[in-house]
């Protein structure tokens, strides 16, 4: 498999989580964590609506489901949407060095800050991810603004 195929396969896992969240009536944002050998460690999705939990973002859900890890330096975090400030803080706090992002057109979050901090960001600019978020935001603007902390 080429690197690009790998990245697309990794993103697929996060997209499947996002679609699961959407089917549950939630915000379609999914994430996954992979070891260097490509092994899937965990995956998760935003659960704000489903669980009434504002701290359950796609990234944090995958992070918690991976359990304790000694180090995050070699673990790749994949997320369908650019991480918000809260998740960007998590990425820096635990020392992730590589983050694969499905898209950053609808929301760019802390991407520039992460890049400046030396985190390797791969933005796949996936049209599937853009469409998924654009449709959701158009239909549920109030839930989306709540999720990103906009009044
Ligand atoms: Zn977040």
- Determine the pLDDT at residue 2: 53
Distance 134 CA to ligand 1 centre (A): 17
As for how many domains the chain has, the answer is: 1
Active site residue 59: yes
Q: What is the DSSP string of 15-77?
A: HHHHHHHHHTTS---EEEEE-TTS-EEEEEE--HHHH--TT--HHHHHHHHT---S--TTPEE
The mean pLDDT values, 10 residues at a time, for the chain of 151 residues are 79 98 98 95 98 97 98 98 97 98 97 98 98 97 91 86
Chain-centroid distance, C-alpha 12: 12
**Which residue in 147, 105, 93, 102 sits closest to 121, CA to CA?**
102
Give pTM, 2 decimals.
Answer: 0.95
Which pLDDT score, from 0 to 100, does residue 16 have?
98
1 CA distance to ligand 1 centroid (A)?
30
Catalytic residue among 59, 74, 131, 142, which?
59
Question: What is the domain extent for residue 29?
Answer: 1-148
Using a CB cutoff of 5 Å, list residues around ligand 1, an ion. Answer: 57, 84, 86-87
* pLDDT of amino acid 5: 74
Res 150: pLDDT: 87
Looking up residue 29, the CATH number of its domain turns out to be: 3.40.140.10
């Amino acid at each position: 498999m080429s690197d690009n195929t790998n990245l697309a396969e990794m993103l697929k896992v996060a997209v499947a989580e996002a679609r699961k969240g959407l089917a549950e009536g939630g915000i379609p944002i999914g994430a996954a964590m992979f070891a260097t050998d490509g092994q899937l460690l965990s995956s998760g999705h935003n659960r704000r609506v489903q669980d009434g939990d504002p701290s359950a973002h796609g990234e944090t859900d995958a992070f918690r489901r991976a359990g304790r890890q000694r180090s995050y330096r070699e673990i790749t975090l994949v997320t369908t949407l650019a991480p918000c400030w809260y998740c960007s803080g998590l990425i820096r706090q635990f020392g992730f060095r590589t983050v694969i992002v499905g898209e950053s057109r609808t929301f760019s979050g802390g991407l520039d800050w992460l890049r400046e901090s030396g985190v390797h960001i791969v933005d796949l600019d996936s049209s599937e991810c853009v469409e998924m978020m654009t449709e959701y935001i158009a239909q549920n603007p109030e839930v989306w603004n709540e999720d990103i902390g906009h009044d």
